[in-house]
Structure 1
Amino acid sequence: MPQLRILDRSQSESSKVAWIATVAFVFAAGCAGIRHNQEKTDVLEARRLSQRGLDAIHDERYGEAEAHFRDAVNRCPDDINSRYQLANCLWKRGDRQQAIAQLLEAIRADGEEDVEMLVELGYMYANAGELDNSFQIAERAIRAAPDSTAAWQLRGDVLNETNQFEAALASYQRALAYERDNRRILIACAEAYHQLDRPERVLSTLNHVDRLGSPGPKAEQSVVLKSIALRKLNRHQEAAMVLNRRHQIQPLSGDGLLELAECQLAIGQFAQAAQTVQAADQHLTHRSQQQRSKWLHARIASSSTEPPLR
């Protein structure tokens, strides 16, 4: 009679463990694959929804855009782009605190100190009147990228808003060390020099801006600052000429017209000054502008017998 082969128990148990391990590995790999595919599907759907949101923003359908971005975030909560776009949409709709919250969440989800998003968050805080938070974000952005022009500019802008003009200048100059021909920062420097009553530095800074070529952004602010600096140096004719030249290229705003009227008044062009103030009056919305207009009207009325300044 053939002998029955008795299987060793230890061999049987190890075979069972090996089989279970194999099944577990295959199952885990399958689950991981399913999860990966699902995550990939969620990311693609979030991006599709975000694109629909961007299309809606392009057509100024902000409510619809917000709905698309929220759907994208719900579909893929860690999608940084969707949260970033939702934050910008909420800001455009005037929901500032929610916009800040979403941008903070986007920065958290990114896991790295994205300087571009930090700087945008800093300006959101500043525009919401939260200057302390804005300054802290500027410092955080600088720690993340010490050579970031935008981060140093943000720091300077916050300091400028809090009337710390010397400190603001130091930050602007650090920003210019990395981008010396940045027009916006140069004009911000000129504004700080103006606040510090340093007209010569205002002029030298704005002359650098002029050498950059085409006027670019903040062109009127630049010529108004130059005019004020020239007036402070008793160069009234030049001040009027600078403003008239700009006015011929593009009509001046209310502030620009008031400055032009003051220059015309100083050089004895009383009739032109009166006409300029009247033109400015149509554009004045702020109390300070209206008070300056009233003062100029009174000066013009009483100055026709005074000798002009040159």
Structure 2
Amino acid sequence: MAVASTSGCASLRKYRVVPESVAKCRKLSREGVAAMERGNCQQARTLLDRAVEISPTDIDARRQYAEVLWNENAKWEAAEQMEAAVRLDPHHGPTVVRSGEMLLDSGSPDRALERASQAIALDSTLAGAWALRGRVYRQLEKPNQALADMQLALRYGPHATDVLLDISELQYEMGRPHRALTTLHHVLDSYAVGEEPRRALWLEGLAYSSVERPVDAIASLRAANGRGEPNADLMFQIAKAEAAAGRPTDAAATVQQALAINGEHEPSRVFLAQLQAQMMGDVTLRR
């Protein structure tokens, strides 16, 4: 009987009864995640809000709720929920990193820096932690420190195209367009033809312009233009490349497209006036 009693206690410990509130929370969380995957963000928000209300100490529910809020552009609410998840489990590096990412994108770089340092202290091989700190330093206008951290992020996560793209942007901003192009080509090679991200193609065009390869710049910028909504800044850069390639008429037409997108785009207005003066001068000279 003693043996049977001991065995029974072990079985009870193995199949521990979950409190009703926890079970309900988990059910609502699963339903919320499913709703989010279907694209029904409002239903997901309602379900996960209820899950957190029922079981405030459930870490997964907090994290999932934060992501739903983030997708709905409720950034500060999302950051607060992820911060609550960190307080519940301060030793989970990925949660600490995600909290820092939300804080940074919500306009709180100092707090994001604290989270990045916390995550690095927890796990110095966590690529996301180094990438976060690099992005914080970049926002704080410390490019050398930012680049060093980004390179460490790449060491621990060598296939992270977003980090490669951040590095290429830093290199361009630091006046190293040739290095930026080399890094960018690694990024672009990882995508199928026609699926390259606009951000990478746009930067490639700017870098080509900086190294005086305007024809290549036009091709990259035109490709970027086909990846999203019309953008006056992008059209302006195409016009500048066309002018540098000796195509003032094309440049004038392109910059007029930029002004059609945004009539108040001052760089385009100034550049159009310069192009028109140049073309009028050329006509006068030919006469």
Structure 2: any 5+ residue segments left out of the alignment? none
Aligned counterpart for 1:290 among listed residues 240, 257, 265: 265
The DSSP-based 3-state class of the residue aligned with 2:243 is: helix
Deviations for 1:199-249, whole angstroms, at most 9, x for unmatched residues? 121122112223334269872222222222222222222322333455567
Deviation of 1:171 (Å) = 0.8
Q: Give the structure 2 partner of residue 48 of structure 1.
A: 27
Q: Give the structure 2 partner of residue 132 of structure 1.
A: 110
The DSSP-based 3-state class of the residue aligned with 1:173 is: helix
Structure 1: any 5+ residue segments left out of the alignment? 1-25
Aligned counterpart for 2:146 among listed residues 153, 157, 168: 168
Structure 1: how far apart are the matches of 2:213 and 2:73?
A: 44
Structure 2: how far apart are the matches of 1:117 and 1:216?
A: 34
The DSSP-based 3-state class of the residue aligned with 2:125 is: coil
Question: How many percent identity over aligned positions?
Answer: 26
Instruction: Kindly report the root-mean-square deviation, in angstroms, between the aligned alpha carbons of the 2 structures.
Output: 3.1
The DSSP-based 3-state class of the residue aligned with 1:203 is: helix
Deviations for 1:69-128, whole angstroms, at most 9, x for unmatched residues? 232223323221111122223334454443323222222323x52222112111111122
Structure 2: how far apart are the matches of 1:179 and 1:37?
A: 39
Q: Give the structure 2 partner of residue 197 of structure 1.
A: 175
Q: Give the structure 2 partner of residue 303 of structure 1.
A: 278
Answer yes or no: is the 8 Å Cα contact 1:223–1:243 preserved in 2. yes
Deviation of 1:195 (Å) = 1.3
TM-score (norm 1): 0.76
Q: Give the structure 2 partner of residue 99 of structure 1.
A: 78
Q: Give the structure 1 partner of residue 54 of structure 2.
A: 75
Question: What is the count of residue pairs matched by the alignment?
Answer: 272
Return the letter of the residue paired with 1:39. Answer: V
Q: Give the structure 1 partner of residue 245 of structure 2.
A: 267
Alpha-carbon distance change, 238 to 92 in structure 1, aligned in 2, over 3 angstroms: closer
Return the letter of the residue paired with 2:170. Answer: A
The within-5 A match list for 1:140-219 is 140-214=118-192, 219=197
Deviations for 1:239-281, whole angstroms, at most 9, x for unmatched residues? 2233345556778643322211110011221221122222233
The DSSP-based 3-state class of the residue aligned with 2:265 is: helix
Answer yes or no: is the 8 Å Cα contact 2:66–2:77 preserved in 1. yes
Structure 1: how far apart are the matches of 2:77 and 2:205?
A: 42
Return the letter of the residue paired with 1:297. Answer: L
Structure 2: how far apart are the matches of 1:269 and 1:76?
A: 65
Q: Radius of gyration: which is bigger? A: 1
Q: Does 1:277 align with 2:281?
A: no
